[in-house]
């Protein structure tokens, strides 16, 4: 089998390994946030930040769920400069999050210090925490969420592609329900 055949086979297999019940649970958390007039905050680094942007727009525009992400370079660089990169997201939550908001944290490795600190701060502040990670099954992020979705893979682009597929599937389900 060639590289591309193997690559796309792996993506299909990993995407299909999701527990549908976990995606349904994610939908319930997001619908509850909407019903309570709360917001969904989505964050990640690098490619996961790009997924955060895509998802926040789809949830807001199509599913009618107020969603934001923290991808403004001025916010990131200001808070990282003042508090350190590992704390910029945690400090952003202190400024923007409210109890009963939902936060979706995306990290391929599940070991990104800024994402882990944000998960801990979110729990402390009374947010519902949904995590998306990969790599090690016992990664630190996977231990911190109310709901944890994990990809059994250690290749960044495959993990990110699977995360995006799962998250956009959630957005599409909520969009269909919003149109009824």
Query: pLDDT tens digit string along 22-40?
Result: 999 999 999 999 999 999 9
CA separation for the pair 131, 106 (Å, rounded) = 6
11 DSSP assignment: H
CATH at residue 61: 3.40.50.10490
Beta partners for 103?
41, 129
What's the domain count of the chain? 1
Tokens of 123: 């729990």
Q: Is 139 helix (H, G, I), strand (E, B) or coil?
A: coil
Average pLDDT score, the chain:
97
Model confidence pLDDT, tens digit, residues 147-157: 999 999 999 99
Which of helix, strand or coil describes residue 80? helix
- Phi/psi at 98 (5° precision): -130, 155
Query: Which residues on adjacent β-strands are paired with residue 130?
Result: 104, 147
What is d(CA 167, CA 27) in angstroms, rounded to the nearest whole number? 10
In angstroms, the CA 162 to CA 170 distance is: 12
What is the residue range of 62's domain? Answer: 3-178
Q: Provide the percentage of residues in the chain whose pLDDT is more than 70.
A: 100
């Amino acid at each position: 089998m060639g590289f591309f055949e193997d690559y796309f086979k792996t993506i299909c297999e990993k995407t299909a390994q999701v527990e549908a019940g976990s995606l349904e649970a994610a939908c319930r958390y997001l619908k509850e946030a909407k019903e309570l007039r709360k917001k969904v905050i989505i964050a990640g680094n690098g490619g996961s930040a790009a997924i955060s942007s895509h998802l926040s727009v789809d949830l807001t525009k199509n599913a009618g769920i107020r969603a934001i992400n923290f991808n403004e370079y001025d916010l990131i660089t200001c808070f990282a400069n003042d508090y350190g990169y590992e704390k910029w997201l945690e400090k952003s939550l202190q400024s923007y999050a409210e109890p009963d908001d939902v936060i979706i944290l995306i990290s391929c490795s599940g070991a990104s210090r800024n994402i882990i600190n944000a998960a801990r701060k979110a729990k402390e502040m009374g947010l519902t925490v949904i995590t998306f990670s990969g790599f090690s099954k016992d990664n630190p992020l996977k231990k911190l969420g109310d709901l944890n979705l994990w990809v059994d893979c250690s290749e960044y682009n495959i993990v990110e592609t699977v995360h995006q597929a799962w998250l956009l599937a959630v957005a599409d389900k909520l969009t269909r329900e919003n149109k009824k």
